[in-house]
Amino acid sequence: MEAVLELRDVSKHYPGHRAVHRVSLAVEAGAFYSILGPSGCGKTSTLRMIAGFDEPTSGEILLRGNPIQNLRPYQRPINTVFQRYALFPHLTVRGNVEFGLKRRGETDYDAKVDEALEMVELTGKESRMPAQLSGGEQQRVALARSLVLTPEVLLLDEPLSALDPNLRKSVRLELKALQRRTGITFVFITHDQEEALSLSDRIAVMNKGEVEQIGTPHEIYLHPTTPFVAGFLGAVNWIDGGKAGVRPEATRIGRVAPEGDVRILQARVSHSVFLGNCVHVETVTALGGRIVAEVAADGYREGDAVYVWWRSADELRFGS
Amino acid sequence: MNRLRTWFLAPARTLNFVFFLVPLAIILAYSLMSRGIYGGVEMPWTFESYQRLFDPLYGGILMRSFAISLLSTVLCLVLGYPLALFIARSGARRNLYLNLVMLPFWTSFLVRTYAWMFLLRDTGLINTVLLAMGVIREPLPLLYNDGAVVLGLVYGYLPFMVLPLYTTLERLDKSLFEAAADLGARPFVAFVQVMLPLSMPGIRAGSILVFISCIGAYLTPDLLGGSKTIMIGNVVQNQFTGARDWPFGAACSLVLMALVMILLKLFLRKGEDQLL
């Protein structure tokens, strides 16, 4: 597939601080691409350089093969959905959505605006002011305002974080459906691994200004290449002095040692955590390591002598 | 709760009544009385002072006062907006800059106006320097004209424009301008379409403060203006001092007040006029 957006060795250095360091990534046309990482990892700085709000210290940003790092934001066919939406408070919903079309000098844009508003299910609310809308509606205006311009790339800066948790999951599905329907390339910035895993075609995991790993959700969850990626994407039982790990859901527990090609450790149950859909039984091994096993129903008490085991194939190995 | 409110508001209400409404009533009464020979007012009641206001002489002075005040307000806006924006965007230094804007208030307005006279007069600093450098042969007529008055007013009331503008601009979300640029607006278009409309509350508040201060000014035109540059404030002042015509002075000030209030009513948006 053709890369619509490419970053080559992009860095953003401040005195005494490397916000982004030598980030390279390629986003395929029509992809839902996530940049995932904890706060302060450089993901927002990366987005700001792609949008053109900040200039890279070094490196190249290419759009369909053409360098764009010297273009101003208003010259780039890239649009942004801001974290807090940044809707123009003095303009109506329609005024916000037609803003970009007017700037392009288009005159016959009413149909486009209607279509965009219909797409985000805001038909009938054209003359409302942003302050009269709920958080979810404001977010949809922000989406419509950008999508109506059919950008080459749509940047989304943690667009779900300002919504209340109940709304987040349904909006997540809508977002994915919207991306598929429009075919627009999405670059989605998030610190929420569940969001990234459920939405993305590809994920770039960032840490301390650098990209740690790029891959499909499958790859980075099941085959993380660094301990950071393994730990950031889900719970890990660290084994072999931190050189390897195994996920709790791949860890089995029992009172009788199993047969077969598995690694087995003797352990004692320290306590259990009920998580609703499952139970995490926490154990301490003979060597003092902590191993958590995910089970469907709790049958263990504190101090029980147990075996914990897993298949070697389920181990996450990082290469020492 | 309501009783508490009544008690806490009582001092302010009393002050307003004794020192604002009562004097206003006195002024109204004076304006309807006859002029005393040595100042003061006498019976009988008369509308004569108001009739005299229709003299084209005073209409001219009023028009001129409005024109000078309007020009000064516009200049304050043009000079104050970039300054307020600069301060709002200057991070940790903004308190320093705000204090610098307010620094002139630490000395008397009268002293500062005299300082302008020393700068502007024929033997003042500007003319002396220019003459010595050979740029001019004759001193420039910098003082005692409309230009000097406008300069003095702009200088004196610029902080009244900067402070409300700063308050409005400082609160504006920076991402709005990034959003405008992101959606294809060049800097000038983003300014006109987004920043300017959103700074209207500050523009209106600053303009009102400056305009009202200018329209009532008498010190600045008195010291910096020529014999022709009389503003309505000077007329009022003169009636209570030299001319000893209190009823006419009272009538002038009431009419001025009424005109300013009508103008503000037109200028302010619905809701904002509750400030009046």
Q: How far apart are CA B153 and CA B167, in angstroms?
A: 22
Residue A186 has a pLDDT of 95
Interface probe for B, chosen from A47, A50, A53, A92 (most Cβ of B below 10 Å), is: A53
Residues of chain B positioned with their CB less than 8 A from the CB of A104: 184
Q: How far apart are CA A220 and CA A212, in angstroms?
A: 10
Residue A1 has a pLDDT of 57
B182 pLDDT band, cuts 50/70/90, is very high
Per-residue pLDDT tens digits of chain A, which is 320 residues long: 578 999 999 999 999 889 999 999 999 999 999 999 999 899 999 999 999 999 999 999 999 999 999 999 999 999 999 998 999 999 999 999 999 999 998 888 899 999 999 988 888 899 999 999 988 899 999 999 999 999 999 999 998 887 888 888 888 888 999 999 999 999 999 999 999 999 999 999 999 999 999 999 999 999 999 999 999 998 999 988 778 889 999 999 988 888 888 889 889 999 888 888 888 999 998 888 889 999 888 788 888 889 999 998 888 888 64
Domain boundaries, chain B: 20-267
Residue B125 has a pLDDT of 85
Six-digit token string for A180: 């598929």
CATH architecture, domain defined by B20-267? Orthogonal Bundle (1.10)
Local structure of B39: helix, strand or coil? strand
Six-digit token string for A164: 């209340």
Residue B209 predicted with pLDDT over 50: yes
Tokens 């101090």, residue located: A303
Is residue A37 within 8 Å of residue A205, measured between CB atoms? yes
Q: How far apart are CA A232 and CA A124, in angstroms?
A: 42
pTM reported for the whole predicted model: 0.81
Annotate chain A with DSSP letters as a single string.
--EEEEEEEEEEEETTEEEEEEEEEEEETT-EEEEE--TTSSHHHHHHHHHTSS--SEEEEEETTEE-TTS-GGGSSEEEE-TT----TTS-HHHHHHHHHHHTT-S--HHHHHHHHHHTT-TT-TT--GGGS-HHHHHHHHHHHHHTT--SEEEEESTTTTS-HHHHHHHHHHHHHHHHHH--EEEEEES-HHHHHHH-SEEEEEETTEEEEEE-HHHHHHS-SSHHHHHHHS--EEEGGGTEEE-GGG-EEESSPPPSSEEEEEEEEEEEEE-SS-EEEEEEETTS-EEEEEESS----TT-EEEEEEEGGG-EE---
User: Do the chains contact at B198 and A89, CB–CB below 8 Å?
Assistant: yes
The amino acid occupying position B81 is: Y
Query: Over the stretch B41-75, which tens digit does the pLDDT of each residue have?
Result: 778 887 878 888 888 888 888 888 899 999 999 99
| A77 reaches B (C-beta below 8 A) | no
| A73 reaches B (C-beta below 8 A) | yes
Tokens 């039982």, residue located: A237
Six-digit token string for B139: 């001193």
User: How far apart, in Å, are the Cα atoms of A304 and each of A264, A282, B76?
Assistant: 16, 11, 81
Residue B270 predicted with pLDDT over 60: no
Q: How many CB atoms lie within 10 A of CB B226?
A: 14
Local structure of B165: helix, strand or coil? helix
Query: Nearest C-alpha of chain B: how many angstroms from A74?
Result: 4
Q: How far apart are CA A61 and CA A6, in angstroms?
A: 6
User: Do the chains contact at A99 and B173, CB–CB below 8 Å?
Assistant: no
Query: Nearest C-alpha of chain B: how many angstroms from A54?
Result: 11
Q: What is the mean pLDDT of chain B?
A: 86
Residue B1 has a pLDDT of 61
User: Any residues with CB less than 8 A from the CB of A96 and at least 6 apart, and which?
Assistant: A87, A88, A130, A141, A145
Residue B40 predicted with pLDDT over 80: no
What are residue B80's DSSP bridge partners?
none
Residue B205 predicted with pLDDT over 50: yes
Residue B222 has a pLDDT of 81
B197 vs A53, A90, A146: nearest CB: A90
Residues of chain B positioned with their CB less than 8 A from the CB of A74: 181-186
User: Any residues with CB less than 8 A from the CB of A54 and at least 6 apart, and which?
Assistant: A12, A45, A48
| A53 reaches B (C-beta below 8 A) | yes
Residues of chain A positioned with their CB less than 8 A from the CB of B173: 84, 86
Query: Nearest C-alpha of chain A: how many angstroms from B261?
Result: 27
Residue B140 predicted with pLDDT over 80: no
Q: How many helices (H) and strands (E) does chain B have?
A: 15, 2
Give me the domains of chain A, ranges plus CATH numbers: 3-227 (3.40.50.300), 237-317 (2.40.50.100)
User: Do the chains contact at B184 and A103, CB–CB below 8 Å?
Assistant: yes
Residue A204 has a pLDDT of 96
Residue B272 has a pLDDT of 55
Q: How far apart are CA B211 and CA B227, in angstroms?
A: 23
Interface probe for B, chosen from A50, A80, A91, A97 (most Cβ of B below 10 Å), is: A80
User: Do the chains contact at B182 and A79, CB–CB below 8 Å?
Assistant: yes
Residues of chain B positioned with their CB less than 8 A from the CB of A80: 178-179, 182
Residue B276 predicted with pLDDT over 50: no
Is residue A247 within 8 Å of residue A315, measured between CB atoms? no
Residues A100-118 as b or e (16 or more Cβ within 10 Å = b): bbbbeeeeebeebbeebbe
Q: How many CB atoms lie within 10 A of CB B103?
A: 10
Residue B221 has a pLDDT of 84
User: Do the chains contact at A52 and B176, CB–CB below 8 Å?
Assistant: no
A201, A207, A209, A214: CA torsion to nearest 10: -30
User: Do the chains contact at B181 and A52, CB–CB below 8 Å?
Assistant: yes
User: Do the chains contact at B181 and A100, CB–CB below 8 Å?
Assistant: no
Q: How far apart are CA B43 and CA B35, in angstroms?
A: 8
The amino acid occupying position A239 is: I
List the single residue in A with minimal CA-CA distance to B176.
A86
Query: Nearest C-alpha of chain A: how many angstroms from B180?
Result: 8
Residues of chain A positioned with their CB less than 8 A from the CB of B186: 74
